Copies of this chain bind each other. A is one copy, B any other.
Amino acid sequence: MGKPLIPGKTIYRLSIYHRCLRRLTENAMETVSSSALAKAAGVNPSQLRRDLGYLGTFGTRGLGYPIGELSDAIREVLGREHLQPVILVGVGNLGAALLRYQGFQKEGFEVIAAFDAVPDAVVTRGIEVPVHDVDLMRDFITQNEVKLAVLSVPVEHAQEVTNELVEAGIQGILSFSPTVLMVPETVTVISVDLALELEQVSFFVKRDGEPAPEVPEDKIVP
């Protein structure tokens, strides 16, 4: 069947719009125009209308979009009607910080457990999530039907742990390892490579004060 697929980039922006809409709701607003929401999200109004077009017809010409309905529609498309349980593997510097980080909760994700090769060595100050030995990971995943994992193990163990995750049934991985992970086509991996992002910034900073040569579309916030 022909699918009315939504482009990946649109999905990303829908998440942004969703967050903006939430702030508007708190301010007891009822409708937004494409130009207002676009400004808040840092995109072109035309692009916003195109993106929202993928959801169906929501706006009222001359008026704008109903915030509540729009927000619900986005949440449904993103598949975020229900809480998604997440596990985190690798409770080192970064992993521990991510466990203390409140941002995932705010966006509706619950990190229900963490795993580490040496859980006893983990400094659990400020961490409320239980940290187990990585040997227990597989059973935990199957028993709790966890689909999402955050991977923050050292790069040299990344592929190995990924294989375990995949075998246990994980279907999506947010990886912080600076390496290319091999996974079956059915598994989604998104990599956040901190050093690489810094390198991007560095490139666009000219040494002699001239303006940046080009705009890296996605990530730039005008």
Question: Chain A residues in contact with chain B, CB under 8 A?
Answer: 3, 5-9, 11-12, 15-16, 19, 40-42, 78-80, 84, 86, 93-94, 96-98, 100-101, 103-104, 106-107, 109, 123, 125-126, 147-148, 150, 171-175, 178, 180-183, 185-186, 188-192, 194-207, 209, 211-222
Contact = CB atoms under 8 A, between A and B. Distances in A.
Given A79-B203, A174-B198, A220-B190, A93 B100 contact: yes
Contacts of A198: 86, 104, 107, 109, 148, 150, 174
Interface centre among A7, A181, A212 (most CB of B within 10 A): A212
30 contacts: A7-B214, A8-B214, A8-B216, A11-B200, A15-B200, A16-B196, A40-B180, A78-B199, A93-B126, A94-B97, A98-B194, A103-B178, A103-B194, A103-B195, A109-B198, A109-B199, A109-B202, A148-B198, A171-B206, A171-B209, A172-B202, A172-B205, A174-B201, A182-B222, A183-B221, A185-B211, A188-B201, A189-B219, A192-B192, A192-B197
Contacts of A212: 185-186, 188
Nearest to A171: B205
